[in-house]
Amino acid sequence: MSIVKKPSKTSNWYLPGILSGMGFTFKTMIKNIFNRDKMPTLNYPEQKYNYSSRFKGNHVLTVKKDGSLRCTACMLCATACPADCIKITASEHEDPTVEKYPINYEIDILRCVFCGYCEEACPVDAVRMGPEWQTPGLCGSDFNYDIQHLAYRPSLKGGALSRVDEEERHKSGI
Ligand code: SF4
Ligand code: SF4
């Protein structure tokens, strides 16, 4: 015995379904036009959502007072990273008081899971997760964030001072 129902003649009529769908869309459009404040969506990019100040977005490499990187290339962040997306190349510094520094620091943001372990692992607040969340790019290499992007992108306005340097400046009263 067949359990497949044969379609009735009226079930071949798609028009009522299409018209009812279009009617619902039109009704919602009119409702939204006259109640823009109550719309559940934002008109991005003109309007942006205000995330919490604790939001962990795109990474920032902080800088010292002279604008150079705070990072000491200790590799703790790269070791803590579960996604293995931080690559650091360390080099000796010409200043004898600085043991080493990164000549290359890259984060493959497409592999990153935004867990925040790198930020937690850093002993000198050299890597931080900032409030920015937009990650546009046209090809794969655009998502490999280098020192120039992480520390000196235009939105950072010359670089974010690390907390270590902020405290020092505070103590010296400058
Ligand atoms: S947020 Fe997590 S996954 Fe992303 S770079 Fe930091 S440690 Fe790695
Ligand atoms: S960002 Fe911090 S944890 Fe990572 S290498 Fe630099 S100093 Fe070490």
The pLDDT of residue 20 is: 95
Pocket test for ligand 1, best of 55, 56, 85 (most atoms within 8 A of CB): 85
- Give the residue ranges of DSSP H helices in 36-116: 76-80
Q: Which ligand has the shortest distance to the CA of 98? A: 2
**Given the CA of residue 70, which atom of ligand 2 is nearest to it?**
7
Q: Check if the beta carbon of residue 50 is closer than 8 Å to that of residue 118.
A: no
Q: Whose CA is nearest to atom 4 of ligand 1?
A: 112
The pLDDT of residue 44 is: 87
- 18 CB under 6 A from ligand 2? no
Burial 19-51 (b: 16+ CB within 10 A, else e): eeeeeeeeeeeeeeeeeeeeeeeeeeeeeeeee
Lowest mean pLDDT among 11-20, 106-115, 163-172: 163-172
Statement: residue 174 has pLDDT above 60: no
Q: 127-129 and 86-92: which strand pairing?
A: unpaired
- 129 CB under 6 A from ligand 2? no
Burial status of residue 67 (CB atoms within 10 A of its CB: 0-12, 13-18, 19 or more)? exposed
Q: Whose CA is nearest to atom 8 of ligand 2?
A: 74
pLDDT digits (tens, 9 = 90+) for 9-40: 666 678 899 999 999 999 999 998 899 888 88
pLDDT digits (tens, 9 = 90+) for 57-99: 999 999 999 999 999 999 999 999 999 999 999 999 988 888 8
- 60 CB under 6 A from ligand 1? no
The pLDDT of residue 7 is: 66
The pLDDT of residue 13 is: 79
Any bridge partners for residue 89, and if so which? Answer: 104
Q: Whose CA is nearest to atom 6 of ligand 2?
A: 71
The pLDDT of residue 1 is: 59
The pLDDT of residue 50 is: 86
What are the structural domains, with CATH classification, of the chain?
Answer: 59-172 (3.30.70.3270)
Q: Check if the beta carbon of residue 116 is closer than 8 Å to that of residue 81.
A: no
Q: Check if the beta carbon of residue 126 is closer than 8 Å to that of residue 71.
A: yes
Q: Whose CA is nearest to atom 8 of ligand 1?
A: 81
**Could you give the maximum distance between any two Cα atoms of the chain, in Å?**
91
Statement: residue 53 has pLDDT above 90: no
Pairwise CA distance, residues 135 & 127, whole Å: 18
User: Model-level pTM greater than 0.85?
Assistant: no
The pLDDT of residue 37 is: 84
